[in-house]
Structure 1
Amino acid sequence: MTFMRIVVGLWMALWLFALSAATQAQTLAPAPAVSPSASPEEETIIPTFETQKLARTYILDVPAPRGQITDRNGAPLAQNRLSYNLVINFPTPLDFSDKQALSYTREKIDAAGKIIGRRFRISDETILRHYRNRGIMPFEIAQNLSQEEYEKIKDA
């Protein structure tokens, strides 16, 4: 009988605690004041030779999440391998006109095509959309280069 009273008493105390916490969670907290000096227009980074060099560095190392997957005879079913993509970095600041952006990109695409012996088909619309919306990001023109193509680009 006393054990049951203790359990009921603990249950009621827990219920009251939860009820008080729930009512406090429903009260509105005052909104934080926004500082007028923190506008994004005031915080600009002036491009210099050093910042351009740092902005162009785009190395993405993704460690292999698992080991080799093999069948019961030890033959590999899935393997991790390096993947090389070919990209174009636009110069900063991004002040090319559409015609200049297309000319610059086509020049780089043609040069890369001659080096690795491939013909790339990329529309003007795709180039301009990337330049206008994500010009500071590398523009990918080829994925999964072979080791031979990678060596040709690296040596050029």
Structure 2
Amino acid sequence: MCELFETCIHEAGHLFVLRHFGGDGYIEIFDNPINTELEKDILGRVRCTKQPLKIHQTTKTNILVGLAGHCAELLHFNPETEWLAYELQDFWEYEFDSISNSDRNLTKHAVFDDFFDCADLITNNYGEILDIAKAHFMKCHAKEKPIE
């Protein structure tokens, strides 16, 4: 359950920022078996169905969308943090191998201010991001339950 909700938080962060800049999409969650039979990763992605508005189609928009998933996760794990931008920057610097290829591609031109802008956007709108994550989490659970 926790891993599924963490994935929902991550993808909700991406989706919120995409929508913030005038785009739209939907979240897909799926299991991705690792090489052992004992472990599974729950992976997700946001399928973009509408690109951000022309005035927002910039490298900056892509960077913020790319950073938003991990930023939302970091805030979820530590809601009282005053250092979210620094934590996000540290994650990008020291945990780069654990970042998805799509997030890496979107953020390859990130600069110092981008981490602060993303942290502000996620912090100021976390309630809405949490609502998106909860709704998708419930949708995933509804699919798992057999119809009686």
TM-score, normalised to structure 1, is 0.29
The structure having more radius of gyration, on CA atoms, is 1
What's the TM-score once normalised by structure 2's chain length?
0.30
The structure that is helix-richer by fraction is: 2
Higher relative contact order (CA 8 A, sep 6+): 2
